[in-house]
Amino acid sequence: MTPIRIIVCGFGNVGRAFVRLIEDKQDDLKNRYGIAPKIHAVVDIGGAAIADTHGLPLDQLRELMDSGQSIERMASFGRPGMSGAAILQTLSADVLVEATPTNLVDGEPARTHINAALKKGMDVITANKGPVVLFYKDLQERIQSSGGRLFMSAATAAALPTLDVGKLCTAGAHIRAVEGILNGTTNYILTRMGQEGCDYTTALQAAQDLGIAETDPTLDVEGFDTRNKIILIANQLFDQCLGITDVETVGITGVRREDIEKAQTDGRVIKLIGSVRWENNRLCVKVAPEALEADHPLAGVHLSEKGISFDTDSMGRITVTGGHSSPTGAAAALLKDLLHAYCFYRE
């Protein structure tokens, strides 16, 4: 049995969902995979909870989450005001699970957390896109010098296995192009526009009413979320160090009802596509609405579903669709990366 000491930074929806999965699946993790994950510390905006050598009691964590209380109020373990940076300076652990909110200005506080963990040789599993989008090259250099590893499945479309398929399932093949519907909100809006003949504003309001779109949907509808994900995919699969300014990005706010109708008349469907393609021996990465042929494997991905398609030289086209677009889906990707790190690809 392999014990794994985990520090969780960020105790919002994703961080809490991850802890719930660890509790719900603890017997399965021991019996099927031979690992015993222990939550040694949890950090949130108001403070932290730090365990003894046995880890935080999962039943008490569950009670705290169910009651809606902050982590620093956990009896006997709470540390009001203690930061993630302080935890990582003083506590030894095997893995950092980074689940703080994404910051695309300077990557903080996740950047500090990840750098501190790598400096100590810890493995990092992140759902936070900020540092890996903004400072990918720097992180790769830190990984090389530290011996730690970085896993980011949860940052590249949550439960949809983008990197797994691209890195592992296409081994031996040359990937000529990647196309992805990587944002469930924009796909929902475009689907409603196509199915109901409504305009963008009406479809957006419907998405907001259902809680699919945020009150401020800019990150999604301007294509920025898709851009961030396709950057990570391109960097990982094509050995690049692309940044935000390297990707031509067009969102869906300019898509009109007439555009949808014209595409339907032509037997096509409009989707927001993040793509990576080799063109004239140059790697081109972009995000834009595209009118897909009806038989395109992503044309049938509707509502808030996502999908990714790989065009390869020797395996043909490989497409994966689905995966929960939810905190639980992102948490499941974090858990998957933990299993990959300690069960399947341990170096």
Q: What is the DSSP string of 95-127?
A: EEEE-SPP-TTT-TTHHHHHHHHHHTT-EEEE-
Residue with the bigger pLDDT between 344 and 161: it is 161
Q: What is the pLDDT of residue 344?
A: 79
Query: Residue 149 and residue 63: Cα distance in Å, rounded?
Result: 32
Q: Considering all CA atoms of the chain, what is the largest pairwise distance in Å, rounded to the nearest integer?
A: 65
CB 162, CB 180: distance < 8 Å: yes
Q: Which residues contact 173 (CB under 8 A, 6 or more apart)?
A: 312, 313, 314, 315
What average pLDDT does this structure show over 160-188?
96
Q: What is the pLDDT of residue 347?
A: 53
- The CA radius of gyration of the chain, in Å to the nearest whole number, is 21
Global confidence as pTM: 0.94
Query: Residue 52 and residue 340: Cα distance in Å, rounded?
Result: 26
Q: Are residues 13 and 101 in the same domain?
A: yes
Tally of domains within the chain: 2
Q: Are residues 11 and 131 in the same domain?
A: yes
Q: What is the mean pLDDT of the chain?
A: 95
Q: Are residues 111 and 170 in the same domain?
A: no
What average pLDDT does this structure show over 38-55?
94
Residue 328 binned pLDDT confidence (cut-offs 50, 70, 90): very high
Encoded amino acid at 163, one letter: L
Q: Using alpha carbons, list the distances in angstroms from residue 321 to 157, 273, 297, 308.
A: 11, 14, 9, 6
Q: What is the pLDDT of residue 257?
A: 96
Locate the DSSP E strands across the chain. Answer: 2-9, 35-44, 47-50, 78-80, 95-98, 123-126, 150-151, 175-181, 248-249, 268-279, 282-293, 307-312, 317-321
pLDDT for 184-230, tens place per residue? 999 999 999 999 999 999 999 999 999 899 899 999 999 999 999 99
Q: Are residues 221 and 174 in the same domain?
A: yes
Q: Are residues 144 and 127 in the same domain?
A: yes
Residue 346 binned pLDDT confidence (cut-offs 50, 70, 90): low
Q: What is the pLDDT of residue 147?
A: 87
Q: Are residues 76 and 167 in the same domain?
A: no
Phi and psi for 142 in degrees, rounded to 5? Answer: -65, -40
Query: Residue 137 and residue 156: Cα distance in Å, rounded?
Result: 17
% of the chain residues with pLDDT over 90: 90
Q: Are residues 120 and 206 in the same domain?
A: no
Question: What CATH code is carried by the domain that includes residue 226?
Answer: 3.30.360.10
Helix and strand totals (H; E) in the chain: 14, 13
Tokens 């992180």, located at residue: 139
pLDDT surpassing 60 at residue 137:
yes
Residue 325 binned pLDDT confidence (cut-offs 50, 70, 90): confident
Query: Residue 53 and residue 113: Cα distance in Å, rounded?
Result: 22
CB 19, CB 12: distance < 8 Å: no
What average pLDDT does this structure show over 21-38?
96
Q: What is the pLDDT of residue 28?
A: 96
Closest by CA to 287, choosing from 219, 221, 227, is: 227
Q: In the numeric block, which tokens belong to residue 125?
A: 């599993």
Q: In the numeric block, which tokens belong to residue 110?
A: 């996740």
Q: How many CB atoms lie within 10 A of CB 78?
A: 19
Query: Residue 179 and residue 198: Cα distance in Å, rounded?
Result: 26
Closest by CA to 191, choosing from 289, 319, 309, is: 289
Q: Are residues 99 and 26 in the same domain?
A: yes
Q: Are residues 127 and 223 in the same domain?
A: no
pLDDT surpassing 90 at residue 61:
yes
**Domain of 130?**
2-159+327-344
Looking at the annotation, which residues are catalytic?
Answer: 229
pLDDT surpassing 80 at residue 340:
yes
Q: Are residues 293 and 337 in the same domain?
A: no
Residue with the bigger pLDDT between 282 and 323: it is 282
Q: What is the pLDDT of residue 248?
A: 96
Q: Are residues 289 and 203 in the same domain?
A: yes
Q: Are residues 130 and 166 in the same domain?
A: no
pLDDT for 98-135, tens place per residue? 999 999 999 999 999 999 999 999 999 999 999 999 99
Hey, is 35 helix, strand or coil?
strand
Question: What CATH code is carried by the domain that includes residue 31?
Answer: 3.40.50.720
Q: What is the pLDDT of residue 191?
A: 98
- Which of 48-57, 91-100, 129-138, 231-240 has the least mean pLDDT? 48-57
